[in-house]
């Protein structure tokens, strides 16, 4: 473990939460993380449903950076609107601009990765065209990143519509198209992969999934796990997160995830519904399964 990791937790996956930051990245975000018992965190640095290139507040940025580099590893989630595969050229361009802005903000605040969804072709029959576009927009962006910028963590989606990457087979192809670029990483969302058809709740399902992922990632690191239960059954292709242990995944697969040898240095954050008390309960439950 590096000296910046939580000293009491060497060798086990850190468990934390997505935290709100309206009211100040440090003032609200760090306070929320501490209130829910988080050992790591994820935040938005822009409106998650907008395109605005929100500027930071220098004082909050500095206070946040000091804490997250010392004891509370942080990740940034990019806007949900980003779709590098969009057939609408203005959306595709705004997506690339927004992602570049978000990575720069993440660099400034000391975050360890920027999570971005793998996107959608939107219309049927344009997978190749969409993937060519993702490649043409993303590779130059990655090539231009300064050395101290965090990696871009690709998060496969639940498989809605003309999703470009939801299953491990699709992730394999997606990573090949992006040449396993050294500035890329992967963000595994348990609800998304379950919804996409990987039955993590089956006997040995989580271990099988993680063993398969280990082959597919071909050296691209898993940077973060989004631990979310699912309101819907495996293969439903619906992105509806549920509290840990209260959905169709159940709590045991999370015990298996936290024990898997490939996951011991991968931070885990919840993105479950609910308020501060419910988030604290989810974090505590995962910590008890670890």
Measured from the CB atom, is 26 or 222 closer to Zn ion?
222
Widest distance between CA atoms in the chain: 51
Query: What are 101-106's contacts with CB under 8 Å, separation 24+?
Result: 101/46, 101/53, 102/45, 102/46, 102/76, 102/78, 103/141, 103/145, 103/149, 103/150, 103/152, 104/149, 105/45, 105/46, 105/54, 105/56, 105/76, 106/45, 106/76, 106/149, 106/150
Q: How far is the CB of 107 from Zn ion (least distance, A)?
A: 21
- In the region spanning residues 244 to 283, those forming contacts with Zn ion, defined by CB under 5 A, are none
Q: How far is the CB of 21 from Zn ion (least distance, A)?
A: 17
Q: What is the DSSP string of 28-70?
A: IIIHHHHHTT-SSEEE-SS-TT----PPP-HHHHHHHHHHHHH
| DSSP-assigned letter for residue 163 | B
CA–CA gap between residue 34 and residue 19 (Å, rounded): 10
Q: How far is the CB of 91 from Zn ion (least distance, A)?
A: 21
The contact mask relative to Zn ion for 101-120 (x = CB under 5 A, - = no) is --------------------
Measured from the CB atom, is 26 or 263 closer to Zn ion?
263
Measured from the CB atom, is 60 or 79 closer to Zn ion?
79
Asked if residues 41 and 17 have their Cβ atoms less than 8 Å apart, the reply is: yes
Measured from the CB atom, is 272 or 287 closer to Zn ion?
272
Of the candidates 227, 185, 193, the one whose C-alpha atom is nearest the C-alpha of residue 38 is: 227
Measured from the CB atom, is 26 or 164 closer to Zn ion?
164
Q: How far is the CB of 18 from Zn ion (least distance, A)?
A: 8
Measured from the CB atom, is 32 or 194 closer to Zn ion?
194
- In the region spanning residues 134 to 163, those forming contacts with Zn ion, defined by CB under 5 A, are none
Binding range to Zn ion, per CB under 5 A, among 105-113, 186-194, 207-215, 254-262 = 186-194
Q: How far is the CB of 42 from Zn ion (least distance, A)?
A: 9
Binding range to Zn ion, per CB under 5 A, among 63-71, 199-207, 220-228, 262-270 = 220-228
Measured from the CB atom, is 26 or 115 closer to Zn ion?
115
Asked if residues 104 and 149 have their Cβ atoms less than 8 Å apart, the reply is: yes
| DSSP-assigned letter for residue 119 | -
Please give the size of the binding site for Zn ion, defined by CB under 5 A. 2
What is the three-class DSSP state of 18?
strand
CA–CA gap between residue 271 and residue 287 (Å, rounded): 15
Member of 189, 199, 229, 282 binding Zn ion (CB under 5 A) = 189
What is the three-class DSSP state of 213?
helix
What is the three-class DSSP state of 121?
coil
Question: Is residue 226 within the footprint of Zn ion (CB under 5 A)?
Answer: yes
Q: How far is the CB of 263 from Zn ion (least distance, A)?
A: 16
92, 93, 97, 100: CA torsion to nearest 10: 60
Q: How far is the CB of 155 from Zn ion (least distance, A)?
A: 6
Q: How far is the CB of 58 from Zn ion (least distance, A)?
A: 29
Measured from the CB atom, is 226 or 260 closer to Zn ion?
226
Name the residues that contact Zn ion, by CB under 5 A: 189, 226
């Amino acid at each position: 473990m590096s000296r910046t990791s939580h000293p009491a937790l060497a060798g086990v996956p850190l468990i934390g939460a997505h935290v709100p930051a309206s009211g100040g990245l440090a003032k609200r975000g760090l306070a929320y993380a501490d209130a829910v018992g988080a050992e790591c965190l994820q935040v938005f640095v822009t409106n998650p449903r907008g395109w605005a290139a929100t500027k930071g507040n220098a004082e909050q940025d500095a206070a946040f950076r000091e804490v997250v580099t010392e004891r509370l590893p942080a990740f940034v989630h990019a806007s949900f609107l980003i779709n590098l595969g969009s057939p609408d050229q203005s959306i595709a361009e705004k997506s690339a601009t927004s992602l570049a802005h978000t990575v720069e903000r993440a660099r400034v605040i000391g975050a360890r990765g920027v999570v971005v969804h793998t996107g959608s072709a939107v219309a049927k029959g344009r997978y190749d065209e969409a993937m060519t576009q993702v490649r043409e927009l993303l590779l130059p962006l990655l090539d231009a990143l300064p050395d101290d910028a965090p990696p871009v963590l690709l998060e496969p989606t639940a498989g809605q519509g003309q999703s470009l990457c939801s299953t491990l087979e699709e992730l394999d192809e997606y990573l090949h198209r992006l040449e396993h670029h050294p500035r890329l990483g992967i963000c595994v969302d348990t609800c998304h992969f379950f919804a996409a058809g990987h039955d993590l709740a089956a006997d040995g399902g989580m271990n099988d999934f993680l063993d398969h992922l280990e082959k597919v990632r071909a050296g691209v690191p898993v940077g973060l796990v989004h631990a979310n239960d699912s309101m819907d059954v495996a293969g439903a292709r619906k992105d509806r997160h549920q509290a840990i242990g209260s959905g169709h995944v159940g709590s045991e697969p999370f015990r298996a995830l936290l024990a898997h040898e490939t996951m011991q240095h991968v931070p885990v954050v919840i993105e479950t519904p609910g308020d501060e008390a419910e988030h604290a309960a989810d974090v505590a439950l995962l910590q008890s399964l670890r």
